[in-house]
Structure 1
Amino acid sequence: MVNGDHIRVIQSWDDGVVDDIRLTELLRHYQATATFNLNPGLHQRQRSFSWCYGDKEVWRLGVDEWVEVYAGFEIANHSLNHPYLPDLSLTDLEREVRDSRHMLQDWFQQPVRGFCYPFGGVNPAVKVAVRSAGHVYARTVNEHESVFPPADPFEFGVSCRFADSAFWNHYERAKTDKGVFCFWGHSYELTSEAMWADLEDKIARITADRAAEWVNIEPLIESDQKPVEVLKS
């Protein structure tokens, strides 16, 4: 490690759009881990147009592409159809949270134990539903100087967005504190080659930093929850 500093770095990407193909290729090149938060109810077998982000058309990946595109990355539940969860009835809330987890597990043939609140929407009833459905954490969009350990694993906060102008300030602060740095975003926000180049520079610099370690949220949460005697064994 450099000067005794150490930092664990998390990145979390939402919505399962076609730009994730380029993103996952970039991350694999630099051996960077990431969590991808998906909405199985919004995807068809083939790619489908979803909306416009400014002048850019945003297309969702087809589910037939998922296994190949996201191979090797952590998959988390982002609800079935991306609604604002606090507005739902308890029946609809359970369906959005539980059914989507089952669908993702069936598709990827792996446990899905993380959740990401659509629009950052959360209240006590939503947290109960997410926990009851079998998740071990839920990511918010709330920014914190210290993100780990969270006071509540179902309100896991973030350090900043990937394009935050203060990105490196947040990074260095977490590094000085020997903490965790968590950034997030949507790959459709990368609307120019300059933005892609900037993201690649960030990924490359973090990978090259001998004090940095790429990690995923789920194992980080689980390690924090293990009894001391288990950790010693």
Structure 2
Amino acid sequence: MKVVQSWDDGVVDDIRLADLLRRHQASATFNLNPGLHHAGRSFSWRYGDKEVWRLSRDELIEIYAGFEIANHSLNHPNLPDLSPTDLRREVQDSRRILQEWFRQPVRGFCYPFGGFNPAVKEAVRAAGHVYARTVTECEPILPLTDPFEFGVSCRFVDPSFWTRYEHAKASDGVFCFWGHSYELVDEAMWAELEDKIARIGADPAAEWASIEALF
């Protein structure tokens, strides 16, 4: 069974997350919005009592070294609401910028807010991506009828995480979980995530993979 994980938004908590994943030699995909990263770290919003900050532009290369980088649009709008011109800009310009920054191909896309329609899917495909991740939960994940509707097994905090993991393992399929590192609001949640990563890494039936490797 292949296990993939996908993390959105490029926030400061990704520093700790990336270090955790490296300790356990776990692959991951990070979905970034290049239009929202500036010369310094920038405050974005509050998640409950927690302030969520975006990473600075100059931090990105080092923090995400060795991980798959996917496009999450330029500025994280709800893409179905955009005009055709703005849609192309959000999808095409962001991919170009990410490839310039990271000096590597960016083949994947992640729909902001999970929002898409046929026009959005076509814009993502036309910009050169080979897949697009949704927030739609499905079982099994593969085979896909449409690579621009790549579904997920569950969120990383889902109470049924291990049940869905075992279902995917029973069919030697793909298990995909996703989330945002800013959702980790206390040490107990960080410890629980690390336990999940460690248990998956110790499972001889599981193999970490990037999403793009599935395509």
- Pair 1:209-2:167 in alignment: no
Report the CA distance between 1:199 and its aligned residue. 0.1
What percent of counterpart residues are identical? 75
Report the CA distance between 1:141 and its aligned residue. 0.1
Deviations 1:131-152 (A, max 9, x none): 0000000000000011112110
Deviations 1:125-182 (A, max 9, x none): 0000000000000000000011112110000000000000000000000000110000
Question: Residue 230 of structure 1 corresponds to which residue in structure 2?
Answer: none
Q: CA RMSD in A?
A: 0.5
**CA distance in 1: counterparts of 2:40 and 2:146, whole angstroms:** 38
Unaligned runs of 5+ in 1: 1-6, 222-233
- Tell me the matched-pair count: 215
Which of 50, 57, 63 aligns to 2:57? It is: 63
Report the CA distance between 1:219 and its aligned residue. 1.6
Question: Residue 103 of structure 2 corresponds to which residue in structure 1?
Answer: 109
**CA distance in 1: counterparts of 2:213 and 2:123, whole angstroms:** 21
Question: Residue 66 of structure 2 corresponds to which residue in structure 1?
Answer: 72
- Pair 1:171-2:165 in alignment: yes
Q: Segments of 4+ in structure 1 off by > 4 A?
A: none
Which of 30, 38, 55 aligns to 2:32? It is: 38
Question: Residue 94 of structure 1 corresponds to which residue in structure 2?
Answer: 88
**CA distance in 2: counterparts of 1:120 and 1:88, whole angstroms:** 15
Deviations 1:56-78 (A, max 9, x none): 00000001000000000000000
Larger Rg: 1
TM-score by length of 1: 0.92
**CA distance in 1: counterparts of 2:30 and 2:143, whole angstroms:** 21
TM-score by length of 2: 0.99
SS of residue matched to 1:131: helix
SS of residue matched to 1:75: strand
Which of 68, 73, 81 aligns to 2:75? It is: 81
1:73 maps to amino acid: F
